[in-house]
């Protein structure tokens, strides 16, 4: 079953087009990573899915209905980010009580256990928490609510390394016990890729790739060796990344649609063929200006 169906979703903010005709769907009970650079349109897309804002044109369906102004979508989904607002008059312990009243699948035991594990004070206040603690508290609400559609928008902002690891593991364990549709947005693909089943890669408001993580890992190939051999092997292909190493050595990344034979031949020529880490591929695919940061410092 498709939980989310987006058809030609476009969103304009004043004169700027933030999302450009996005068409995709997300299946039930999968963990999908929404990956994109800063300003790619991740948050805007997620807010349209959650029904927080309305699209300019196109059709968004969540649980087969328009999410904007839908009570059904509202009660079955949660949008977690570091801007979640809670009543400032309530203490953290009271916030948990209220969340328990609001979300039908709420697991109070899980919430309280995580709350204690991360050493929160039930008498503390949300607006006095540090950045990392705010994210941690919001994450607890997001997990314990067990919504059929759970959206985490950059959930690890400000969390330290240990808490991030704990969060990923908690998310996975709870997902195994209570499968649900989860979207996780991040610009750190390497950190979350093991958790994901699918990756939705967006750039400048458009979809670059939408595929299983396992396919993404084999999507590109790195070729390294003597410059002329590398250029010959990769000619007529779109070069995603190119880097000269030393005098006559070249490293090039291209889409991997070579035949087994071609790869064997290349290997015998002495070319070094390596898989491309998905996080590196993400950077190559989304680099605006050809070249890199080195060129900024290059005065010639």
Partner 1 sequence: MQIAEWIESEILNGHFHSDQKVYSQYQLAEMYTINPATAAKGLNLLVEENILYKKRGLGMFVTGEAREIILNKRKNQTLKHLVQELVLEARRLQISNDDLFAMLREKMAEEGGK
Residues near partner 1, by CB under 8 A: 30-31, 168-169, 172-173, 176, 194-197, 212-214, 267-268, 270
Three-class SS of residue 228? helix
Q: Which of 107, 124, 191, 123 shows the shortest CA–CA distance to 157?
A: 191
Q: DSSP letter for 67, please.
A: -
Of 133 and 146, the one with the shorter C-beta distance to partner 1 is 146
Reported in sequence order, the residue ranges of the chain that DSSP labels E, i.e. its strands, are 2-13, 16-27, 31-35, 57-62, 77-80, 149-153, 181-186, 198-203, 206-212, 220-226, 239-245, 249-255, 272-275
Contact 128, 100 (CB under 8 A): no
Of 243 and 264, the one with the shorter C-beta distance to partner 1 is 264
Give me the least distance between CB of 166 and partner 1, in Å please: 11
> The tokens of 245 are what?
């190493």
Of 41 and 148, the one with the shorter C-beta distance to partner 1 is 148
Sheet holding 239-245, edge to edge: 239-245, 249-255, 220-226, 272-275
Of 127 and 268, the one with the shorter C-beta distance to partner 1 is 268
Give me the least distance between CB of 28 and partner 1, in Å please: 13
Of 65 and 197, the one with the shorter C-beta distance to partner 1 is 197
CA dist., res. 30 & res. 124, Å (int): 35
Of 18 and 171, the one with the shorter C-beta distance to partner 1 is 171
Give me the least distance between CB of 31 and partner 1, in Å please: 6
How many CB atoms sit inside 10 A of residue 290's CB?
9
Give me the least distance between CB of 48 and partner 1, in Å please: 25
Give me the least distance between CB of 287 and partner 1, in Å please: 27
CA atoms within 13 A on the CB side of 267: 10
Contact 17, 44 (CB under 8 A): no
Strand-pairing partners, residue 161, are none
Of 212 and 291, the one with the shorter C-beta distance to partner 1 is 212
Q: Which residue has the tokens 């458009």?
A: 206
Give me the least distance between CB of 87 and partner 1, in Å please: 35
- SS3 of 139-159: the string is HHHHHHCCCCEEEEECCCCCC
Three-class SS of residue 79? strand
Give me the least distance between CB of 292 and partner 1, in Å please: 30
Of 122 and 195, the one with the shorter C-beta distance to partner 1 is 195
Give me the least distance between CB of 60 and partner 1, in Å please: 25
């Amino acid at each position: 079953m498709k939980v989310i169906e987006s058809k030609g979703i476009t969103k304009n903010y004043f004169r700027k087009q933030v999302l450009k005709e996005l068409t995709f769907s997300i299946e039930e009970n999968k963990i999908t990573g929404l990956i994109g650079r800063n300003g790619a349109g991740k948050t805007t897309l997620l807010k349209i899915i959650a029904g927080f804002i309305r699209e300019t044109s196109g059709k968004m369906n969540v649980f087969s209905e328009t999410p904007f102004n839908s009570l059904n979508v509202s009660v079955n989904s949660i949008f977690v980010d570091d801007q979640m607002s809670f009543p400032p008059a309530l203490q953290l312990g009271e916030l948990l009580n209220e969340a328990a009243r609001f979300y039908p699948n709420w697991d109070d035991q899980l919430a309280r256990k995580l709350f204690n594990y991360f050493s929160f004070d039930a008498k503390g206040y949300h607006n006095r928490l540090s950045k990392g603690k705010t994210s941690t508290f919001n994450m607890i609400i997001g997990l314990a609510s067990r919504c059929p559609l759970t959206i985490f928008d950059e959930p690890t902002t400000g969390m330290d390394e240990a808490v991030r690891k704990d969060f990923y593991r908690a998310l996975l364990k709870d997902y195994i016990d209570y499968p649900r549709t989860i979207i996780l947005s991040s610009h750190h693909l390497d950190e979350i890729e093991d958790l994901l089943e699918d990756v939705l890669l967006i750039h400048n408001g458009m979809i670059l790739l939408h595929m299983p993580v396992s396919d993404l890992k084999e999507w590109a190939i790195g070729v390294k060796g003597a410059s002329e051999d590398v250029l010959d092997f990769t000619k007529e292909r779109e070069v995603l990344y190119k880097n000269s190493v030393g005098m006559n050595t070249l490293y090039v990344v291209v889409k991997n649609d070579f035949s087994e034979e071609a790869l064997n031949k290349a290997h015998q020529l002495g070319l070094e063929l390596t898989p491309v880490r998905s996080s590196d591929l993400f950077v190559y695919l989304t680099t605006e200006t050809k070249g890199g940061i080195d060129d900024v410092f290059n005065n010639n």
